Amino acid sequence: MRQGFEQRWISWGMACLGLAFCLWPRLSLAESSLATELARLRSEVETLASQVEEKKDSLRSQLRALSMQRSAMALSLEKERLRLRALQKQIREQQARVKSASEEGSQLAPLALKVASLLKAQIEKSLPFRLKERIKVISEIVQKLHLKVMTPRQALARLWQAAEDELRLGRENGLYNQIILLDGKPRLVQVARLGMVMLFFRTRDARVGAAQKQGGQWSFVIFRQPEKIKQVETLFDGLKKQIRMGYWTIPNALPR
């Protein structure tokens, strides 16, 4: 009986061993597949972890940029507030000046208009050198004064400058181009101005003459006498050569 039991035990052990040998390849294959899957999952986890860190870095960078922008905007806002306060201060100061100028202008405006009228009348009676341009300067000052785009004080300053320009013309000699009325037609000629005393001209066709005043009216007269023509030509030649010192004989073109 004991021998029979041992044989059955041995037979059962052999059967289990055979079964194990049969299942062993399948278990090895399952373990290999599991290891591969674990490796893949580990790789995906590492990739996701890396992506998360990159996202965190990106968010931190964006937060820093937003913080810097916020600081810059706060600084810009403060600058604008300071500029606004400065502008408001300038406006108040300008309003005060305008009020003061308005009160002062009520007294200076009549004086400025009177000075402008006197200066314009003086120019109209003077040597006919670029009369339109010189009168236009005075007329523009008066117009701006009437339109109140120029204060009376500014108008007086401009009129004083215009008066100084007139005085300067009286101290200078020179050659200029000017449109004059000759033979009833406007012509562009070269003029030789001697201060504000005499004005000679030369046309493109070599005719010469002078501005002469008779009966309170200016006119441009052409010289016919050879001697006067030669004297005027010599004067033009000397002024063209910028001869500062010398002696010239010139026709008498003083106002009568």
pLDDT of residue 159: 92
User: Looking up tokens 């606004």, which residue turns up?
Assistant: 84
pLDDT at 164: 93
pLDDT > 70: percent of the chain: 82
Among left, alpha and beta (phi > 0; psi -120 to 50; other), residue 95 is: alpha
C-beta atoms surrounding 244 within 10 Å: 7
* Prediction pTM value: 0.57
239 lies in a domain? yes
pLDDT at 66: 73
Instruction: Tell me, yes or no, whether 51 lies in a domain.
Output: no
Q: Average pLDDT per run of 10 along the chain, which is 256 residues long?
A: 53 53 52 72 80 83 79 77 81 73 72 92 91 94 89 90 91 91 90 91 92 87 92 89 74 75
Overall number of domains in the chain: 1
Range of the structural domain that residue 183 is part of: 173-256
Q: Is residue 209 part of a domain?
A: yes
Confirm if 159 and 141 have CB atoms less than 8 A apart.
yes
Give the pLDDT confidence score for residue 23 in this predicted structure. 47
| pLDDT of amino acid 1 | 52
- 189 is a domain residue: yes
Q: Which pLDDT belongs to residue 26?
A: 53
